[in-house]
Amino acid sequence: MIISIASGKGGTGKTTVATNLCASLDTDFMLLDCDVEEPNAHLFLNPNFTGKEKVNAPVPKVDLSLCTYCKKCMEICRYGAIAVAGETVVTFPELCHSCGGCTVVCPEKAITEIDRFIGTVETGSLSLPQTPSFGRGLLEIGQVMSPPVIRQVRQLEKKKNLTIIDAPPGTSCPVIASMKGADFVLLVTEPTPFGLHDLTLAVEAVKLLGIPCGLVINRAGIGNDDVKNYAQNENIPVLLEIPFDKQIASAYSKGELLVQALPEYKEIFKRLYTSIEAIVNRKGDA
Amino acid sequence: MKELVILSGKGGTGKTSLTAAFASLAGNMMLCDADVDAADLHLIMDPDIQETHDFAGGYEAEIIPDACTGCGQCMELCRFDAVKPVEGAGIFYIDGLDCEGCGVCADLCPESAIKFEEKICGQWFASSTRFGDMIHARLGIAEDNSGRLVALVRDEARKRVLANHIDLLLTDGPPGIGCPVIASIGHANAVLIVTEPTVSGIHDMERVAQLAAHFKMPAMVCINKYDLNPDQAQAIEAIAEKRNMEFVGKLPFDPAFTKAMVQGKSIMETHADSPAATQIKKIWNRVMEHPAMKLDRLC
């Protein structure tokens, strides 16, 4: 089973829910931090990193001694990443989407591909009794293509066991790359107008993917009841409410888990997992 | 003209609430919401939309079933695993969610069986608000090219700022450090990083600070909810100094932010004398005094 934890709005508590859920489980699992622009899960779970691999994107390299300046490469490229002007060919690797079109279309076979470094995938294990596997991606500073880094993190998934994914905020391509193929999306929001607005966008994305979802309302008590009313109207189960509590906020600020600061939450997160499991199994039976 | 971009790295630190507060203080300014993925500034600004434009952000391939002979070349060529077999039919279809819009399959299909058309990926708006004009957008759900839409709304905003002799463009940036963030900072005077005194806030601030340095963009730092963890707040001040970013102030945790948001107002409108509002005024003055904010950017 794959559970993806997403939100729409940033800073609502995705990582809090992901890390505390992990620290409460008795079964073995794998945690993947797919917020490759700003990964935070490691700050709360102190993984022991043992592996590191580069994420490279193939970009074109033109052998000018073979090039006849026919411009077919420039014509097929939708990203403006290769330009032929007179007897020069210029490539713009940062614009390249690595589709490979230019290499295929070149009649002289003058274009080969070289690797461009865009990020890193780090692997290791968490210091919990089951020593669960952990993986995270890290987009290199100044690089724009986060989906390939996310996809490489997700290659670590083993379909049979439980995988928990900490997704990035938003509703565009990096979020889709982090939710696609999941069995369940756990949406984390806060009961404010911003939280509600971005939740509705996230729910649209989840619907588009046809994945069942449930809601965690974090910082319950601030704002208003609109999120709850929305969830009721949309038939989205509210699986957990975490009240706004300065003690929780203070523990979080220090990198402490909620289940360490307030151990009674361990049972609460276990129940959260059980309710997710029940929803996924029900869908499997139907 | 001058442009200040509000960033944070980590989401939810208060970028939009602070942008709205600055808008109440700034006078002759224009707003740009560059968080096109999950835009929220309009919830406070209540914009009166004057113009709506489609954003044709990319292309999408579509296989015409009757023309497809099932040769499978498109599937072999596609680097994004977007071409999938139609079960039992011996032909293929393209999963729009995986399609990168590169057009390689369409260009090379021996039967010309693949349509490749521009698609509308979102909309952008030119609006007026009670504080000034505003350019904002909405990217379609699950769409690519948020960076291009960010670049577009900023271009439109900058054009109008120049044409209408507006002093300042205030840009509410997206979270993260990737494509849309990079598109939100080019040619700006400076960025203001809003962080919070948590391990995540610090970690993410450092990443966005490195990004600003990478693009040689002057950066300032302020802390929201500093009293949540004063030790971490002090650590942030030290990091700001070490990284050569001016530290422009810190805001206490103040429920007035959420109360104002629920009313669809900025904190300066509803709680002008609250502790946070008092600090915001000081921060605003320090931001505008920063040497980078004194330069006129014409491009």
Per-residue pLDDT tens digits for B80-115: 999 999 999 999 999 998 999 999 999 999 999 999
On whether residue B190 sits in a domain, the answer given is yes
Q: Which of B38, B107, B229 minimises the CB distance to A254? A: B229
- Contact of A201 with B38, CB cutoff 8 Å: yes
Query: What is the spatial distance between Cα A187 and Cα B134, in angstroms, rounded to a whole number?
Result: 30
Mean pLDDT of chain A: 96
| Residue A14 to residues A19, A65, A157, A168, A203, Cα–Cα distance (Å) | 9, 53, 19, 9, 15
Please tell me whether residues B190 and B100 are part of one structural domain.
no
On whether residue B241 sits in a domain, the answer given is yes
| Residue B116 to residues A105, B78, B96, Cα–Cα distance (Å) | 17, 14, 12
Nearest CA among B264, B268, B266, B270 for reference residue B43: B264
| Residue B217 to residues A204, B169, B284, B289, Cα–Cα distance (Å) | 36, 16, 19, 16
For residue B225, is pLDDT > 60?
A: yes
Please tell me whether residues B33 and B177 are part of one structural domain.
yes
- Which of B109, B177, B182, B270 best probes binding to A when mutated, by most A CB atoms within 10 angstroms? B177
Query: What is the spatial distance between Cα B58 and Cα B52, in angstroms, rounded to a whole number?
Result: 19
Q: Provide ipTM, 2 decimals.
A: 0.94
pLDDT of the residue at B298: 60
When pLDDT is averaged across residues B142-159 and rounded to a whole number, the result is 92
On whether residue A76 sits in a domain, the answer given is yes
On whether residue B52 sits in a domain, the answer given is no
Please tell me whether residues B104 and B232 are part of one structural domain.
no
Q: Out of A77, A94, A117, pick the residue that ends a domain.
A: A117
Query: What is the spatial distance between Cα A35 and Cα A40, in angstroms, rounded to a whole number?
Result: 8
The enclosing H or E element of B183 equals helix B179-185
Please tell me whether residues A155 and A260 are part of one structural domain.
yes
Query: What is the spatial distance between Cα B155 and Cα A275, in angstroms, rounded to a whole number?
Result: 47
pLDDT in tens, B180-201: 999 999 999 999 999 999 999 9
Q: What is the 3-state secondary structure (H, E, C) of chain A?
A: CEEEEECCCCCCCHHHHHHHHHHHCCCCEEEEECCCCCCCHHHHHCCEEEEEEEEEEEEEEECCCCCCCCCHHHHHCCCCCEEEECCEEEECHHHCCCCCHHHHHCCCCCEEEEEEEEEEEEEEECCCCCCCEEEEEEECCCCCCHHHHHHHHHCCCCCCCEEEEECCCCCCHHHHHHHCCCCEEEEEECCCHHHHHHHHHHHHHHHHHCCCEEEEEEEECECCCHHHHHHHHHCCCEEEEEECCHHHHHHHHCCCCHHHHCCCHHHHHHHHHHHHHHHHHHHHHC
CATH code for position B289: 3.40.50.300
Please tell me whether residues A104 and A232 are part of one structural domain.
no
On whether residue A70 sits in a domain, the answer given is yes
Question: How many Cβ atoms are within 10 Å of A120's Cβ, its own excluded?
Answer: 17
* Separation in Å, CA of A280 to nearest CA in chain B: 23
Please tell me whether residues A278 and A231 are part of one structural domain.
yes
On whether residue B51 sits in a domain, the answer given is no
- Which of A9, A12, A38, A77 best probes binding to B when mutated, by most B CB atoms within 10 angstroms? A38
Q: How many domains does chain B have?
A: 2
When pLDDT is averaged across residues B223-235 and rounded to a whole number, the result is 97
Q: Considering only CA atoms, give the Rg of chain A.
A: 22
Please tell me whether residues B281 and B212 are part of one structural domain.
yes
Amino acid at B196: E
Nearest CA among B35, B4, B37 for reference residue B21: B4
Please tell me whether residues A110 and A10 are part of one structural domain.
no
Nearest CA among B222, B236, B237, B209 for reference residue B282: B222
pLDDT of the residue at A286: 64
Interface check for A109 against chain B (CB to CB < 8 A): the answer is no
On whether residue B53 sits in a domain, the answer given is no
Please tell me whether residues A153 and A265 are part of one structural domain.
yes
Question: In chain B, pLDDT over 90 holds for what percent of residues?
Answer: 95
What secondary structure does DSSP assign to B227-283, as a single string?
GG-HHHHHHHHHHHHHTT-EEEEE----THHHHHHHTTS-HHHH-TTSHHHHHHHHH
Token pair, residue A3, equals 């559970």
* Separation in Å, CA of B271 to nearest CA in chain A: 16
**Phi, psi dihedrals of residue B272, rounded to the nearest 5°:** -60, -25
Please tell me whether residues B107 and B218 are part of one structural domain.
no
Please tell me whether residues B174 and B221 are part of one structural domain.
yes
CATH code for position A113: 3.30.70.20
Chain A residue numbers touching B146 (CB-CB < 8 A): 170, 172-173
Interface check for A90 against chain B (CB to CB < 8 A): the answer is no
pLDDT of the residue at B57: 85
When pLDDT is averaged across residues B118-124 and rounded to a whole number, the result is 94
Contact between B43 and A194 using a beta-carbon 8 Å cutoff? yes
pLDDT of the residue at A284: 76
pLDDT of the residue at A285: 73
First to last CA, chain A: 16
Please tell me whether residues B239 and B153 are part of one structural domain.
yes
Question: How many Cβ atoms are within 10 Å of B273's Cβ, its own excluded?
Answer: 7
Chain B residue numbers touching A105 (CB-CB < 8 A): 107-108
pLDDT of the residue at B296: 85
- Which of A15, A79, A194 best probes binding to B when mutated, by most B CB atoms within 10 angstroms? A194
On whether residue A51 sits in a domain, the answer given is no
Average pLDDT for runs of 10 along chain A of length 286: 96 97 96 98 97 97 97 96 94 94 97 97 95 97 94 89 96 93 97 97 96 98 96 98 95 97 97 98 80
Please tell me whether residues A168 and A260 are part of one structural domain.
yes
For residue B286, is pLDDT > 90?
A: yes
On whether residue A195 sits in a domain, the answer given is yes
**B299 confidence band (pLDDT: 50, 70, 90):** low
Please tell me whether residues A236 and A97 are part of one structural domain.
no
Q: Considering only CA atoms, give the Rg of chain B.
A: 22
Strand partners, A112: A61
Q: How many domains does chain A have?
A: 2
Please tell me whether residues A184 and A236 are part of one structural domain.
yes
Please tell me whether residues B62 and B42 are part of one structural domain.
no
pLDDT of the residue at B58: 87
Chain A residue numbers touching B100 (CB-CB < 8 A): 97, 99
Residues 6 or more apart in contact with residue A223 via CB below 8 angstroms? A190, A191, A192, A193, A195, B258, B261, B262
Q: Out of A86, A117, A148, pick the residue that ends a domain.
A: A117
Please tell me whether residues A95 and A42 are part of one structural domain.
no
Q: Out of B89, B120, B151, pick the residue that ends a domain.
A: B120
Q: Position of tokens 């004398």?
A: B273
pLDDT of the residue at B109: 97
Our CA angle for A153, B119, B73, nearest 5°, is 60
Please tell me whether residues B174 and B265 are part of one structural domain.
yes
pLDDT in tens, B28-81: 999 999 999 999 999 999 999 999 999 998 899 999 999 999 999 999 999 999
Contact between A139 and B177 using a beta-carbon 8 Å cutoff? yes
pLDDT of the residue at A188: 98
Structural domain boundaries enclosing A94: 56-117
Please tell me whether residues A173 and A205 are part of one structural domain.
yes
Between strands A48-62 and A111-125, the pairing is antiparallel
CATH code for position A262: 3.40.50.300
On whether residue B64 sits in a domain, the answer given is yes
Please tell me whether residues B202 and B145 are part of one structural domain.
yes
On whether residue A276 sits in a domain, the answer given is yes
Q: Out of A65, A87, A117, pick the residue that ends a domain.
A: A117
Please tell me whether residues B80 and B198 are part of one structural domain.
no
On whether residue B299 sits in a domain, the answer given is no
**B226 confidence band (pLDDT: 50, 70, 90):** very high
Q: Position of tokens 């999938």?
A: B84
Biggest CA-to-CA distance, chain A: 71
Structural domain boundaries enclosing B87: 58-120
On whether residue B91 sits in a domain, the answer given is yes
Q: Out of B73, B95, B120, pick the residue that ends a domain.
A: B120
Please tell me whether residues A168 and A248 are part of one structural domain.
yes
On whether residue A122 sits in a domain, the answer given is no
Query: What is the spatial distance between Cα A117 and Cα A54, in angstroms, rounded to a whole number?
Result: 7
Please tell me whether residues A7 and A137 are part of one structural domain.
yes
Amino acid at A58: P
Between strands A88-91 and A82-85, the pairing is antiparallel
Q: Out of B100, B120, B140, pick the residue that ends a domain.
A: B120
Please tell me whether residues B133 and B116 are part of one structural domain.
no
CATH code for position B94: 3.30.70.20
